[in-house]
Amino acid sequence: MRLSSFISARHCFIWVYGLSVTLLVAEVLPKFKPQEIDATVTIGYGLALADVDGDKRIDILLADKERIVWYQNPTWVKHVIAEKLTEKDHVCIAARDINGDGKCEIAVGAQWNPADTVDSGAVFYLVPPEDRTQLWKPIQLSHEPTTHRMRWVRNQAGRFDLIVVPLHGRGNKDGQGTGVRILAYHVPSDPSTTWNTSLVTDVMHMTHNFDVIPAGTPEEPESLLLCGREGVLRLDPGESGWRPHWITKHETPELQGAGEVRWGAFAGGQPYVATIEPMHGNQLVLYTPPPEGPKDGIWQRRVLGSPQSRYTCRDETVSHDQRRREWLAAAFIRR
């Protein structure tokens, strides 16, 4: 498997070799130039983009089957961060500068076994050495089974929490049983000590991915957009917890949930939500607020495309203005 990139003047789309890319744009399509970065990827489960070494360039981070690595911009030299953290595969990675020093902090998920809803999963925070091209020190944290996705998210106090989303609830079978416990991990002053956690939500019974909704200013807390078997749920932080707003609820046989989700805004500022439906499905779907009616009601659904093959959507985008995603981009990985 090869890791490649498409680079334009405004965006950088990172993709695993074999993707077919569909772009819906509000302006002239830019010219992209493919560049092979790594031809030895085994299973590229998770990608992140962040400045690892503080040189003000965006680097690429990858959670591969048995290695956590980063590719140094602009040469894309590969550096190993950690190896074989658990017996089973690594599955996800979160990277972001959470303390303002210009260098990202990294967390990863591992021990991937979606069939085991009791004993699988693992969450690690990685402590960087002085030379960040060397191996990092893993600190294992508490976890729920089937660790699957994670992101750093700014909270109401202006600090960053690690949000971790499992695939299933504990002990679930076929999406039935206990709800998926999505947790916020609160970073202690000494990362080697106990990390307190708080519950974000447990209303879904089978999730698949989530997105961070950009805040209006760098000081404001960020919201979440969660997708799964039961639909798409927006979660806004409040003084008494996370306020839920269902963008769509999939309660009928013809609606089978969403596997991928992204938040964006058109040039005029109108928000939209893009999904791939159902999980690992073949429909690219767009949701927009109803022109009339409550803003916290169910959004209008429109299927934009339904290829015959089934796909999974993954994308990582760097924009000059993260608060306005004027481009809707979906990258499809053939199953």
Compute the mean pLDDT over every residue in the chain, rounded to the nearest whole number: 86
pLDDT at 2: 64
Q: CB neighbours of 297 closer than 8 A, spacing ≥ 6?
A: 290
Whether the per-residue pLDDT at 257 is higher than 60: the answer is yes
For residues 284-306, b (16+ Cβ closer than 10 Å) or e, as one string? bbbbebeeeeeeeebbebeeeee
pLDDT digits (tens, 9 = 90+) for 16-46: 433 334 444 455 788 898 999 999 999 999 9
296 or 256, greater pLDDT: 256
pLDDT at 262: 97
159 or 292, greater pLDDT: 159
Whether the per-residue pLDDT at 316 is higher than 60: the answer is no
pLDDT at 28: 75
Q: CB neighbours of 60 closer than 8 A, spacing ≥ 6?
A: 3, 5, 14, 37, 47, 48, 49, 70, 71, 73, 76
Instruction: Give the model's confidence band at 154: pLDDT under 50 very low, under 70 low, under 90 confident, else very high.
Output: very high
